Structure 1
Amino acid sequence: MELRLLVTFEKVATVLSFTRAAAELTYAQSSVTSQIRALESSLGTELFDRLGSRIRLTEAGERLLPYARQIIELTEEARAAVVGAEEPSGTLTVGTMESLTSYRLLPLLEFFHHRHPRVRLSLRTTIGDETRQALRQGTYDVGFLMEAETEHAGLEVAVLAREPLALVAAPGDPLAGTAPDTAALPGRPLLATEPGCAYRDLFERELNSCLPEGSSVDFTEFGTIEATKRAAAAGLGIALLPEVTVAAELERGELVRLDWEPPFTLSTQLAWRAGKRLPSHARLFVERARRLVSEESGPPR
């Protein structure tokens, strides 16, 4: 089996599209198709079921995929060891989210930009289930999560820091300066980021537990944390956000922190596919993320 055929097979198996695989590998689609047929011919079995415009792995393809990934990863590691390059290099596709990219990761990105310019970081913004699925499929090399749980099926996880949350409002909000019970919160206009964000979903679940069965809270949803903060500062309602994202506004008095402590905690985590042999530049990224994100967030509270 030729390595280039396995690389093409792994890419098609990951994205389940000949067209997308060709684009990502910068091949003509006909080249991808012919390489897959050559691999199937050498193995004497079909690796994909063609279902009209869709494809899926056959049982043989499912069995081959983990071996293909191991061979590719070992080949990359062997090449790096033989070349013996002192300077780490390679592309790293990183799943992240707005709150971490803007407020936690800048020291890490700056470190790689100045110290390791041959490491190309490709940041993809997704959250929760999307990030975990992309890691399992191999679309992302590593991914940042902000979750209550620290164990995820099919993934290895490094917990970087606890992520405190703050319930914030404009200084003139009726709840400012009080210690509201959870039951009082659904009575105020609620602002939030999109569903699927861990702290928003946990907050919603907590508030719904205070309502009669069959009822649920309503949120005014904003596409970004920045928009959510501005809406809260304008007096449009209250919002639960990571403390690091509102620290500047709290210091300037544009927002106030309500005296309400969430009954749940979140951790910033870095994850990758279980069993994946991380190349040297990915291991360096994990090591620096552990150090820099932990330093930036400070000691657990």
Structure 2
Amino acid sequence: MDTKNLLTLKTIVRTGSFQNAAETLGYTPSTITFQVRQLEQELSIKLFEKLGRRMVLTKAGENILPLVDTVLQSCDTIHNYGKSLEQLQGSLTIAMPETLLIYRMQEVLADFKQQAPNVKLYIQVGNCDKVREEVLSGGIDIGIHYDVCGENNSIRAEVIDYHQACLVAYPELPEAESDFVSANQVKQVDLINYYADSIFQNIIDDYLKKKHILISTTMELWSIEAIKQNVINQIGIAYLPEVAVKKELEQGKLKKLALDSDNDQIIPAVCEVHKNKWLSPQMELFLKLIRETKK
């Protein structure tokens, strides 16, 4: 069995399509298709099926993915045997929400690239549920997310730090519109949502419902930086992780709006790997760097 075919399978899953895998690996699309068919013949199973316009993994394909990881990681181990961190090769695939990527993991990523410059680092951005799914399916090596998915017997999880959010507005917001402690209100200011399934968005939605505070208009953006700029430019208010707005609060570009103290929910952030996944040297290095930056 040619390990190149296994790498192709893994790359299709990671990049999301045959075409993307071809571009990533420098192959033609026909080569990718040939390698998949060759692998299917060798394994006597069907790996992909067409769903609409997309090719998705079959159940058999999902089941063998952890075994493919084991083979590829074993090859990496043999190839890296006796080498220093600077000589390590191979790849590492990580997934996390945007806020953790931008405001928590930059130091870790920089240290990793400095210590293992020859390892190809692939980073996926997704919500917490998507990250957990990717860990369980074997589509990624390490998942980092807010701990909202609950325990799973197939997952090894480790808390890396804790996060709290706050309601922020532009400094010029009138006092009447800045009151989010008094109940039974109708607000004329816009609430800018991150995305519907965000843990922090769910917290503020529940708070407003409990206080009977009605926001007449909402808008949704999928970029933390875009949301902050909209708030700074007096387009609305937003409920965001404090770590994401720390600098703007210190600079006076944003102000924090008071909420009832019972809204002070602290959300752990966790780092996860599949229990059956063998820890490669690059995975061990990344996990070590995360632990060194625990807060």
TM-score normalised by the shorter chain: which range applies?
0.7 to 0.9
Once the two structures are TM-superposed, the CA of residue 145 in structure 1 deviates from its matched residue by: 1.2
What residue number does 1:169 align with? 169
Q: Is the 8 A contact 2:187 2:216 kept in 1?
A: yes
- Structure 2 length normalisation: TM-score? 0.78
Separation in structure 2 between the aligned mates of residue 33 and residue 85 of structure 1, nearest angstrom = 36
* Residue matched to 1:156: 156
- 8 Å CA contact 2:189, 2:217 repeated in 1: no
Label 1:147 to 1:130 Cα distance change in 2 as closer, same or farther (>3 A).
same
Counterpart check, 1:247 vs 2:246: yes
- What does residue range 98-247 of structure 1 map to in structure 2 within 5 Å? 98-149=98-149, 151=151, 154-173=154-173, 174=175, 180-181=181-182, 184=185, 188-211=189-212, 218-247=217-246
Partner Cα distance (1:209, 1:287) in 2: 42
The 3 A distance-change label for structure 1 pair 30 and 162 is: same
Q: Measure, in 1, the Cα distance between the counterparts of 2:61 and 2:255.
A: 56
> How many angstroms does 1:160 deviate by?
0.7
SS at match of 1:276: coil
The residue type paired with residue 67 of structure 2 is: Y
Question: Which aligned pairs between 1:14-163 and structure 2 lie closer than 5 A?
Answer: 17-43=17-43, 45-48=44-47, 50-51=49-50, 55=55, 61=61, 63-81=63-81, 83-87=82-86, 88-149=88-149, 151=151, 154-163=154-163
Shift of 1:129: 2.9
Q: Structure 1 residue 287 and structure 2 residue 294: aligned?
A: no
CA gap of 1:177–1:10, structure 2 versus 1, over 3 A, is closer
What is the distance in 2 between the residues matched to 1:102 and 1:60?
36
Q: Counterparts of 2:233 and 2:15 in 1: how far apart (Å)?
A: 43
Does the C-alpha gap of structure 1 residues 178 and 113 become closer, same or farther in structure 2, counting only changes over 3 Å?
A: same
Task: Report the Cα offset of residue 250 of structure 1.
Answer: 2.0
Call closer, same or farther: CA 1:112–1:219 in 2, change over 3 Å.
same
Residue 256, structure 1, aligned to residue 259, structure 2: no
| TM-score of the superposed pair, with normalisation by structure 1 | 0.77
Give secondary structure in 2 for the equivalent of 1:6: helix
1:77-96: CA deviation from partner (whole Å, max 9, x where unpaired)? 23323x43343443323223
Partners of 2:265 and 2:153 lie apart in 1 by 21
- Alpha carbons 1:183, 1:207 under 8 Å: kept: no
Instruction: Report the alpha carbon displacement of residue 166 of structure 1 after superposing the two structures with TM.
Output: 1.5
Gaps of at least 5 residues in structure 2 are none
| Aligned length in residues | 290
Query: In structure 1, how many angstroms separate the alpha carbons of the residues matched to 2:16 and 2:171?
Result: 51
The DSSP-based 3-state class of the residue aligned with 1:94 is strand
Gaps of 5+ in 1: 296-301
Amino acid corresponding to residue 290 of structure 1 in structure 2: R
Over the matched positions of the two proteins, sequence identity in percent amounts to: 26
Contact 1:169–1:176 (CA under 8 A) maintained in structure 2: no
Cα shift at 1:34: 3.2
RMSD: 3.5
